[in-house]
Structure 1
Amino acid sequence: MDKTSLVLGFFLIVVGIPVIADVLNKIHKRNTALRERELEIMGSQTAEKAAQYAARTERLEQRVRVLERIVTDKGLDLAAEIDGLREEPVPARPIEH
């Protein structure tokens, strides 16, 4: 081997490999940071949706409690009131000429 090949090989080993490794390391760090940011955003969106579902569930539970109270407190009286509303005639409006 001649000196030029030997110097070129040495330069490649001493300079080229660390430079390539550094570039690959920076790319990896950048991709990792991007993925972490994506996961943070996804986590905050998931938390927001969970809070919305919890609020909706709470509203539905309140409505069910009210319905249970109506059914258990009034029982038959409620059925009679509903039937009474059905039987009342709707007043007719006078016809205008």
Structure 2
Amino acid sequence: MTTPLTLTPGRRPDGTAMLTVVGEIDMSNTESLAAALASAPGPLVLDLTDCEYLDSAGLSILFPHADRLELIAGPLLAPVLAISGLTGLTTRH
């Protein structure tokens, strides 16, 4: 069974690509996240504000894109992103 996940592409007012994530990222739906990240070339803002869960499978999808990601995350995911080392490779708000 696939965990519910909604990925909504868009653009910020400055034209930067943005991907808004709602739900949970786990091994059941990382292919969708990988495809969405691959389809957005260049700098990308990843809004994880409404992401309730992010496991190691999800993190493994984010690391290859770290050099072009800007993360927006709330207090729920902040420790996960920090402990994984991802915040040291990206910008997080």
Task: Establish whether TM, by shorter chain, passes 0.5.
Answer: no
Which entry has the higher C-alpha Rg, 1 or 2?
1
Relative to the length of structure 1, the TM-score reads 0.17
Which structure: greater strand fraction? 2
Select the structure that is richer in helix. 1
Larger RCO, structure (CA 8 Å, separation 6 or more) = 2
